[in-house]
Amino acid sequence: GAVVSQHPSWVICKSGTSVKIECRSLDFQATTMFWYRQFPKQSLMLMATSNEGSKATYEQGVEKDKFLINHASLTLSTLTVTSAHPEDSSFYICSASDRGRGDTQYFGPGTRLTVL
């Protein structure tokens, strides 16, 4: 149980285009989803927290207009990187938790974004 999927697993795009990454909780309802980015050989950096049906809360220094997060249902959250640039190239990872069942965060497999 507690499986989280991400799609796509990797994406390459041209500078200036937008990319959407999906995060799904497959066998539980995620009241809260988190989005992280991770640079090579570094730790996970929290970008934003989203609760189903409400606006995401962004961490300090994260541009909300560049990283659009939508948590429209209890099983799906999306991260859209708008007008992507090479410096946005990173490993993006989502996690999901069900606050009614103990709050453990279950992580997705990650999405490797490369912006050319």
Partner 1 sequence: QQQVKQSPQSLIVQKGGISIINCAYENTAFDYFPWYQQFPGKGPALLIAIRPDVSEKKEGRFTISFNKSAKQFSLHIMDSQPGDSATYFCAASENDYKLSFGAGTTVTVRA
Least separation in angstroms between CB 16 and partner 1: 26
DSSP state of 102: T
Distance CA 68, CA 26 (A): 22
| Contact positions with partner 1 (CB under 8 A) in 34-53 | 34, 41-44, 46, 49
Distance CA 22, CA 79 (A): 7
The stretch near partner 1 (CB under 8 A) out of 11-19, 63-71, 78-86, 105-113 is: 105-113
One residue of 85, 109, 114, 116 binding partner 1 per CB under 8 A: 109
The stretch near partner 1 (CB under 8 A) out of 12-20, 68-76, 79-87, 101-109 is: 101-109
Distance linking the first and last C-alpha atoms of the chain? 37
